[in-house]
Structure 1
Amino acid sequence: MIRQMRHQFLTDKECLIHTDLHASNIMVNDHSMKIIDTEFAGFGPIAQDWGRLIASFCLNFFSWYGDHEHTEGEKAVFRAYLLDSINTMYQCFEEEFRALCDKNRSDSYRLRSLDVDAYLLTHFQDTLLYTALNAASRIGDRGICYDLERLKTPDRIYPEQLVLLMTIELFLNRGAYKKITDLTDYLRKMAGKHPAEAFKEA
C-alpha cells in the first residue's frame, strides 16, 4: 500500500498542490484566506493536501487527551470544534467540486464523462490513506508536531497510541468509510473505545 501511495504521489499530476498543507500554513481574517509556505509546492494528487490538512487537525485533536492544563469540559469543547471544522471543510470542498463540475461540464468532454460520485468516493478514501500516513509520520522525535511536542513526554504516549490506532484503522478499513462524518464519528468514539487505562494494563 505504501508503495502504491508513493507511486501515486510521484506520478498523479492531478493539479497544483501545496504538499505540506497544515493548519499553521493557513492565514484567515474576516475578509480573506491565504495559504503560505510554497517550498514543497508541485503537481500531485489532491488527496495528499487533504490528507495532510486533516492529519494536522487529528494530531491536535488527539493531543488534548494528554493535556492536563485545561478542564475536561474545555478540552471536550475544543475537540468537538476540531471535528466540526473537519466536517465543514471537507463538505464545502465536495459541494464546490460538484458545483464546478456542473458549471463547466458543457465545455469539457472529460467532465461530461466523469462519474462525480465515484470520483469523490475514490478521492475521499485516498484522502484517508494520506491522513493516516501524514499523522503517523509526525509522532516520531525527528518529525514531531508542536501539538504533541508541547506535552511532557509521558503525556504524549496515549495521544500517540491513538494516532497509531487511527492509522491502522484507516489503512485496513478505509473502504467502510463513505463520507467525512464517518471519519469524525470514528474519531469522536476512539477514546471511549480505547481508554488510556486499557493501555496501562497491557
Structure 2
Amino acid sequence: MLSSLPVDPVFQMILEAPERIPADAMPSRLAGLFRELSAQEPIRPVEDIEDQIWALWFSHEDRLAEETMAAAVDALSSGELQKAKPLLDHLVAKHPDWAEAWNKRATLAFIEQRDADSLLDIAQTLRLEPRHFGAISGFGNICLRNGHLNEARAAFQIALAINPHMEELRDMLEDLSPHNLMLH
C-alpha cells in the first residue's frame, strides 16, 4: 500500500541531481573528491575519500556551530533524540546554508518516523548539496518504508552513481529488483 507521503517534489530534485550545481557555500575541494569517488577503482582507499567528503560537509567556519553539530551527532548516536532536536533546530535556523545541518535534522526525523518532516529537510539538503549521497539514500529508505518502491529503487541508483562504493545500497537494489520482489 502506498502512503500519501509527498515524495514527488523531492524525487524530482533527486532525478535532476546530476545536472544541479552545489550552493556556493559548498567547499570547492568537494568536486575533485567526488570525481575520485566515482571511479570504479579509486587510487586511494574509498573510506579515505568518503571520510574527507563527510569532514568537509561537517566543517563550518563558525567553531561554535561545529561544536553544536558534534553535540547533536553525539546525542543522535546515543539515542538522546530529545537532546539532538533543539541543537539541530538551532543550527538550521542560524546557518540555513549548511547542508549537513539539514541532513542531520532529516536523519533525526527519519529515526522518529516523521517522514514528511524528513523529506522537507532532505529537500533543503539537496538544494544546497545535490551530490549528498547520504540524503539521497535516506530518501530511498523513506520511500521503502512507505511502499514507494520505484522511487526507492531510482534514489538508490542515483546515490550509487554518485558513490558507487555503497555496498549496502547495492544489496537493497538487488532485493528491490522486480525478479526478487516476485519471489517474496
The structure richer in strand per residue is 1
Give the structure-2-normalised TM-score: 0.32
Give the structure-1-normalised TM-score: 0.30
